[in-house]
Amino acid sequence: MHIHTRRTAAAAAIAATLLALAGCTSDNSASKQQAKQNDLAAGTADKFSRAVPYPYANGLPSDPLERKNLSRRLTQYNSKGNTNYVYVFAGMTDKVIGYYVIRGKVSSTSSQMTSTQVNVHCGYGGDHITCTNDAIGDDGSYGPDEGGDNGVFFFTTNGTLVETDQPFLVSSQPIKLYASVPQLDAPTAKH
């Protein structure tokens, strides 16, 4: 019995060694194949980079249009005196319900003037422990805003607050394509 146990243990050890060697060979082969693919990809990327080099490698871009666009949008769109046109769509369709004429910009209902998180004391350990919790919103309540993730609000030229979660489009000029849709904040005619 004792010899049989030794033979079984030796056979198991040999089988494990053979499996490990087979695995190493297979893993080694896969590693070599992966290394070849990596070298090929790096060589291809290098060829593309030499053929069309990054244009600003030797200095700043001659005309940083993205930053200029951001600056222009911020100064124009974030100005209370500018008129904008907000076209509101019905759900996820291409049907325009109508448009509003607004002063200033469209704002997210998720924006708030106070911090969205607050650090609070939550216990003692070896050190003083603080936890970060959600803070109350500007309106004094917890939870999502009325419009959810897609909610926006704006003020019309006559000061009316409008809040919606419908898809919308904003333009600094009227859009001719929507010339026949109603102005939703148009003054009503007096009879």
pLDDT of 58 over the 90 cut? no
Burial of 85 per CB tally in 10 Å (0-12, 13-18, 19+)? middle
The pLDDT score that the predictor gives to residue 79 is 75
pLDDT band at 115 (very low <50, low <70, confident <90, very high): confident
Comparison of pLDDT for 149 and 90, the residue scoring more: 90
Q: How does the average pLDDT of the chain come out, rounded? A: 80
Tell how far CA 5 is from the center of its chain.
Answer: 63
Comparison of pLDDT for 45 and 187, the residue scoring more: 45
The pLDDT score that the predictor gives to residue 18 is 45
The pLDDT score that the predictor gives to residue 19 is 46
The answer to whether 187 and 119 have CB atoms below 8 angstroms apart is no
The pLDDT score that the predictor gives to residue 60 is 72
The pLDDT score that the predictor gives to residue 3 is 47
The answer to whether 98 and 183 have CB atoms below 8 angstroms apart is yes
| 5-43 pLDDT, tens digit each | 455 454 555 555 444 444 444 557 778 888 888 888 888
Q: What is the pTM of this model?
A: 0.58
